[in-house]
Structure 1
Amino acid sequence: MRWLKWILLSLLALIVLSLLSLYLALKSNQPQYDGQIDGAVEQPVELDRDAQGYLSIKAQSRSDAAYALGFSHAQERFFQMDLLRRNSAGELSELFGEMALDLDQKRRLHRFRHRAELGYKVLPAEQKLLLDRYTAGVNDGLQQLGLPPFEYWLLQASPRTWTAADSFLALYSMFLDLQGSQGKDELAMGLLKQQLPADWYQFLMQHSADWQAAMDGSEVSAVPVPSSAYPAVLKQQQSACTDCGLFDSRDIGSNNFAVAGSRTADGRAILADDMHLGIRVPGTWFKARLQWQQEGETKWVAGVTLPGTPAVVAGSNGNIAWGFTNSTADWSDVIALKLDDKAERYQTDDGWQEFSYQNEVIKVKGQPDLVRQYKETIWGPLLPEPFSGYALRWVAHDPQGANFNLLQLEQADSAKAALQIASRVGVPTQNLLVADRQGVIGWTLIGALPERQLTDMDTPQDWSTAKNRWTGYHAAKAYPAILNPKSGQLWTANSRMIGGDDLALIGNGGYDLGARAQQIRDGLTALPQHTEQSLQQIQLDHRALMLARWQKLLLDQVLTADFVAEHQLTSYRDYVMKDASQASISSVGYSLVRAFRAKTIELAFAPLTALLETHRLSGRDLKFSLETATWALIQQPRPDTVPASFTSWKSLLQQAVLDSKQALEQQQGSLAQANWGALNTSQIQHPLGAAIPALGDWLNMPAMPMNGDSHMPRVQNKVHGQSERMVVSPGHEADGLLVIPAGQSGHPLSPFYQADHSFWLHEKWLGFLPGKTEYLLKIEPKA
């Protein structure tokens, strides 16, 4: 017993000693917030922070400000930056081993490291200087920490120095996040077009006429349910599907909206922006205000930056404020290759061409290097098996796709000037919304817009003749734009925002239904005048307007007296009647109506989902939401349009009630416990907090119930939602809002690790500009 006691005490002492050592090591490599250091700056630079860690940089030149931003990014977020560059370059296996190998092999298809190095070489001298200075700051900031960030200790790895090309890789990671990189949307649409009669294909892929709010006022008409027989592939399920759940297309994008000076009491224009992304620890964005001298004048810009890059992505410079939402248009095309008998050559309008071959060496932790060979055509790389008969043409592969012309927005002095810059910027093409100091607002697309000659932009096409091809990129005059609309309001929310020839120019990348955009538009229209606070309320709006018709369907047609009595659904019906109007954490009725809708669409289109899965695709790849077709079929409940496993639409709807109710009871224990907050509890985690559960309580944000859902302005699910909330009027920045989830720092002992989180979580106001200085670090030129 004495020996056992000694062993246990020794183990306890070892654990305590290990934890103490870890704490002391973490304490020793915290970011430096106070004092004075030497750095590679030409003149002294001040880095001050407020209580939330919002960084303010005061420099004598923009290049010194870039150095200081790189220094701060590295001190607070280097591991995040490293993951961004490794993600797009396909180099995660070097850190995480075999578990990341499959993703790395998919990423290497795009050869983004090679493209990043080429992109850096052709940068204009001024941008190259800023990127070089930023890079120097990153590496000095990393070195100043002493010990590497703690993630590298846990992974038993060492960080690599940052290169200027790595900033391009951070940008390419955003392409991968915001646009399709495998061509599966067109492959899925091509399969559907091949399998379905033309009238049913057009019916399924229609833009929703029920939920539309295009800024240019254009409207689409509903495609009616075809009178022809329901296709067998939609009626007869040939195989089981492993994931038959609801697919709502790309419906969790972003919101931005603005009102002109004509819609405010004092003539100010106001911009609101909340970009929806995956939410993790640390978050995507880092708040910074940069100030410098230029030709005897003080310049400044404030907002959110992307660690790994030197630009303010969204924010204000005092003259204009700008923000983004993903355009959700079509920025890639899949090419159906014509191959020779040996599949060694492909046909072009210049004759047969040999494939080119690229060897990619993937370093795998704990294993020998892996060499993978990738085949390429003159148009782009071949897709991986089982789609190796297709090639991918993607804006991200071209020099026009990625550059740092976004920096030019820092100097723009009007909404009109900002719109003119947009066509030269290389980012994943976004909806750019701008408000200026004169009260003017404007919209256009920002990013490269390909000039295409295609028979069909939605399905794979044969490019072996000149009939189908890309002919270059459009100049600014071709870009759709709206400046100073008579209504005094603009809005985008990833749905169809334009029509006619402009829509034909940009195509469809999987637009959202438009319920969210419609709710934002109507919220803007409801008030004759707006303030920053009224725009924030629209951002936080979680009314479930789109579900109202599903609630009515349940109460009027599905929950009949006989059905309720037979299956003891009285309490179910009462919950549906009581509180289904919004996605609030206390609502049980919302959970029930939402689950009923999801199960209805799943049952109605299980044959389609199964068909896609047999071809290694899924409903997630389609360019349309199944909401539109499902609702139309329910309104005309023909016996032949219901899947073969049901006798009528009524039987399908009632089965959807029973199945969804049972699933919620099994998951939550009872209907009373199935409130939306219990189902929509946040999982905002550090990458290693998720991988190493013992660290989770320490690294992750607390799990909390969340208001909001898809198809409403307050977009929120467990791991996806408003990655920032910004409301700002140029010239009145002191009245604005800027808040991010989690906090500024990725260091768990930093006072800023979760400094913003309570404000973000509880929907509280936090100023757009930095508050009172609490910490001050001075960087002096090296002797």
Structure 2
Amino acid sequence: MVLRRRSVWWRLWHASALVVLLLALVLGAAAWWVHAGAAPRVGGELRLSGLQGPVTVTRDEWGVPHIRARASDEDAVYALGFVHWQDRSWQMDFQRRVVQGRLSEVLGAAALPQDRFLRTWGFQRAALSALPALSERSRGLIRAYTAGVNAAMKQGKVALEFRILRYSPEPWTEVDSLSWSKLMAYDLGGNQADEVLGTRVVSKLGRRGLNEVTAPYPAGAPTVLSADELGAVHPTPPAPVNTGPEHASRPKTGLPPATVQALQAHLNAARELGLQAVPGKGSNNWVLAGSRTASGRPILADDPHLALTSPMLWYLADLQGPTLRAIGASIPGLPSIVIGRNDRVAWGVTNVNPDVQDLYIEPEGARLSARTEVIRVKGQPDVHLRVRESRHGPIVSDVGAGEVGPRVALKWTALQPGDTTLDAFLGLNYARNWQDFTRALEKYVAPTQSFVYADVDGNTGYYAPGRIPVRKGWDGSLPVSGDGRREWQGYIPHARLPHTYNPADGLIVSANNQVVPAAYAFSLGNPRNWAEPYRAQRITELLSVRPGGLTLADVQRVQLDTVSPVWSDFRSVLLKTVPGSDLSRRALALLRGWDGNETVDSVQATLFEAWLMQLHGLAEDELETQTQMNSLSVLNQLRRNGALCAVNGQGTCAEALSGSLEAAVADLRSRLGPEPQDWTYGRLHRVASDHRAFGKVKALAWLFNHSAPTPGGTNTVNVARPQRGSYAQTHGASYRQVIDLSDMNRSVYIGSLGQDGHPLGRHADDQQGRWIAGEYLPMSTDPMDWGRTRTLQLTPDPPARTR
């Protein structure tokens, strides 16, 4: 979420250059002064109510807390809540305000579109319904975490953002620890966006256009599970249902432009929040059995690709209680390690992206309920929002169009009651073996993830848990009638979800590619759902070239690979382009000998990504909107001289190649000057870890944002797709881990920015340079690996009674 350019804030801070400069200087000086009082207590002793026994919190050289609780696991989680609030209080408060749809209270009317979207969908209502479904163990840990957060809040340290916006945070509640997971489920499972795009494509190009604009996953491309592994789980799958978009029995579901625009308004609001903003974003994880490693024990790697923000999403932590022993990446607000390991088991996640959302066009006469949401707006009267719901879910076509036209409802697994996903994550923290691991994942609901697994006994595995709807006779790619003919037939049973244990080839690779081959008994979604196979192919290739076995360092190099498999695919087509100017000719000459490595000092990387950026917009004139095709769809058009190459119905793909190259070099010339040899990638391609509220407010952005040149590009393993219009890297490997099961304390991890949410904090951005350079921190529970430390002792108040 950012304050909009035309908001009151923007007009105030941009009245004149002099005002901006003076305000920046004043705020800078004030920030230094304020920070002296906002810095958290990291040494000495604090007496806190709610603890059962003493807890030590030892922050290592990079600000990672190593929490040791002797009396109970609840004390360890209490301390996690305490340090989360110490270091990330603004982030935690902002995240819960997002879910609650209460941004306008503190940011003003500029945030109203986001609040309308959030209230209409009902994220907070879904979080409230999830709390009673959790196990007693989870409820106890949430209570302890909540007490720890509120104990830290009572210390009186106030983050700078609260002072700038002039409000105080409310006490933390138990439901606040569930709320952010709902936004994560949206960010990682937005099939509604595909249906809105599909509706627009069909209206402009007919149903043939669906496969043109978004190509189906290629036959023969790698799937996470092989046919052999699938056969072991589902020996006699039934014949697949004809679920293609041309299926004869599909009812007509055309929507008028005003309704499509209303649906698009929700997507636009979500993108203002940084959700689902970049096509082709994804994640990588893989696990190698001991048969493929030099040590003879498994190695597990994971790097989830998400928005790169300030502060970063993840918070590294090490928790140890009497039975809880987990280290890895947590999310402030959640009482668990989300990705990481304990002393026996390691796990990582990537997004599956099955189709778990459907848009239903409710017929006339369908029964609807209604509620009124009151949105408080800073400095303005309250806004009353009427939200209607059908039996399928909220009516999401009202925003931006009133209550006129077809009523389109959203059905989504994450809005269903009884979400026990937090039970699953807490269960993983305690898992001792594959049986514990899979039993924990039975509780998983959303968003469906590809979990890779390894343990100290040498076992490896994979599971894709979650509620995935079963559809009969339709594939969910377009809105359908809500008249009852297109209803979910339950969910895929947990035991029949895609999984494998100790696969024979000793390798599992997941990169958001298609999970299962065609023989699988169920549909996970339409064939256009999956990420292109480029990253999966490249990772598999790199992990298969060392006969002596791979080491930890080898696996790290794979995570950091910046060679473009897209360039390999496009090279022969692009180099046949007829240049339209001397500058285009010089650009082509530079590309001819390029090896595809997208380093910060590469001129060719700049040329290729700029050209690809132009080509991704190939369908925009046909669809009359900014639509980014993926690379595979563009390549299909270029190879076949497809109709989307034409502009207003005229022209060929050869002409499109010449024109797009000319547009790319003209754009680069305007940004970087007339000489191509000066167009090095790092001059344009920079990570943009921007603040969610102040990222585009120039008087404050310098204090809260963090930027630096980065390598990588579109569909490199180290994903770093440049943003159209700015070339900034806004999404990427938000966290990396490589876990060595032969010696757990040799494992490594790193985040994209730093532990500290305070912009002037010691650890605000001290991981960013290492992250860009491909370096890691020790993922170790051994104090010998922690470097210079500071220890805070938390003791019960009143003191625990001795027996």
TM value normalised by structure 1: 0.85
1:332 equivalent to 2:357? Answer yes
SS at match of 2:442: helix
Structure 1 gaps of 5+ residues are: 1-11, 221-225, 227-246, 340-344, 347-353
Within 5 A, what are the aligned runs for 1:278-293?
A: 278-293=307-322
1:93 CA displacement: 0.9
Q: Give runs of ≥4 in structure 1 deviating > 6 Å.
A: 12-19, 638-641
What per-residue deviation string (whole Å, max 9, x for no partner) do you get for residues 154-204 of structure 1? Answer: 0011111111011111211212322227x2321322443455455554555
The verdict on how the C-alpha distance between 1:171 and 1:549 changes in structure 2, with shifts beyond 3 A counting, is closer
1:511 equivalent to 2:530? Answer yes
What per-residue deviation string (whole Å, max 9, x for no partner) do you get for residues 39-65 of structure 1? Answer: 120110110011101111101211111
Partner residue of 1:367 out of 361, 380, 386: 380
1:218 CA displacement: 5.6
Do the aligned residues in 2 keep the contact of 1:326 with 1:494 (CA within 8 Å)? yes
Do the aligned residues in 2 keep the contact of 1:314 with 1:322 (CA within 8 Å)? yes
Amino acid across the alignment from 1:325: T
* Corresponding position of 1:91: 102
Q: How far, CA to CA, are the matches of 1:140 and 1:750 in structure 2?
A: 21
Deviates more, 1:17-26 or 1:522-531: 17-26
* Corresponding position of 1:607: 621
TM value normalised by structure 2: 0.83
Q: How far, CA to CA, are the matches of 1:774 and 1:32 in structure 2?
A: 14
* Corresponding position of 1:212: 221
Q: How far, CA to CA, are the matches of 2:25 and 2:362 in structure 1?
A: 63
Q: How far, CA to CA, are the matches of 1:280 and 1:151 in structure 2?
A: 15
The verdict on how the C-alpha distance between 1:112 and 1:17 changes in structure 2, with shifts beyond 3 A counting, is closer
* Corresponding position of 1:429: 448
Q: How far, CA to CA, are the matches of 1:444 and 1:202 in structure 2?
A: 29
Do the aligned residues in 2 keep the contact of 1:316 with 1:730 (CA within 8 Å)? no
Amino acid across the alignment from 2:667: A
* Corresponding position of 1:532: 552
What per-residue deviation string (whole Å, max 9, x for no partner) do you get for residues 434-480 of structure 1? Answer: 11112221111133233444523211122313x32124334321211
Partner residue of 1:593 out of 608, 612, 615: 608
Amino acid across the alignment from 1:268: R
Amino acid across the alignment from 1:212: A
Amino acid across the alignment from 1:334: L
The verdict on how the C-alpha distance between 1:628 and 1:484 changes in structure 2, with shifts beyond 3 A counting, is same
Q: How far, CA to CA, are the matches of 2:277 and 2:792 in structure 1?
A: 48
* Corresponding position of 2:635: 631
1:411 equivalent to 2:436? Answer no
Structure 2 gaps of 5+ residues are: 1-20, 229-239, 241-245, 247-275, 723-728, 799-803
* Corresponding position of 1:5: none
Q: How far, CA to CA, are the matches of 1:14 and 1:668 in structure 2?
A: 31
1:673 equivalent to 2:698? Answer no
The verdict on how the C-alpha distance between 1:558 and 1:775 changes in structure 2, with shifts beyond 3 A counting, is same
Deviates more, 1:627-636 or 1:49-58: 627-636
1:133 CA displacement: 0.8
1:513 CA displacement: 0.9
Do the aligned residues in 1 keep the contact of 2:637 with 2:643 (CA within 8 Å)? no
* Corresponding position of 2:777: 766
Do the aligned residues in 2 keep the contact of 1:91 with 1:104 (CA within 8 Å)? yes
Q: How far, CA to CA, are the matches of 2:743 and 2:752 in structure 1?
A: 24
Within 5 A, what are the aligned runs for 1:485-564?
A: 485-500=503-518, 502=520, 504-508=522-526, 510-528=529-547, 529-555=549-575, 557-559=576-578, 563=579
1:684 CA displacement: 1.7
1:569 CA displacement: 4.1
Do the aligned residues in 2 keep the contact of 1:317 with 1:730 (CA within 8 Å)? no
Query: How many corresponding residue pairs?
Result: 711
1:213 CA displacement: 1.6
Identity value in percent: 27
The verdict on how the C-alpha distance between 1:591 and 1:444 changes in structure 2, with shifts beyond 3 A counting, is same
SS at match of 2:745: helix
1:36 equivalent to 2:45? Answer yes
Do the aligned residues in 2 keep the contact of 1:49 with 1:775 (CA within 8 Å)? yes
1:714 equivalent to 2:699? Answer no
Partner residue of 1:377 out of 390, 395, 409: 390
* Corresponding position of 1:728: 739
Deviates more, 1:495-504 or 1:766-775: 495-504
Aligned residues: CA RMSD: 2.8
Do the aligned residues in 2 keep the contact of 1:401 with 1:428 (CA within 8 Å)? no
What per-residue deviation string (whole Å, max 9, x for no partner) do you get for residues 82-130 of structure 1? Answer: 1111112211111111111111101111222222222223322221111
1:773 CA displacement: 5.6
Deviates more, 1:299-308 or 1:681-690: 681-690
Within 5 A, what are the aligned runs for 1:569-584?
A: 569-579=584-594, 581-584=596-599
* Corresponding position of 1:484: 502
Do the aligned residues in 1 keep the contact of 2:298 with 2:742 (CA within 8 Å)? no
1:373 CA displacement: 0.6
The verdict on how the C-alpha distance between 1:573 and 1:383 changes in structure 2, with shifts beyond 3 A counting, is same
Partner residue of 2:290 out of 249, 261, 264: 261
* Corresponding position of 2:469: 450
Q: How far, CA to CA, are the matches of 1:764 and 1:681 in structure 2?
A: 18
SS at match of 1:708: coil
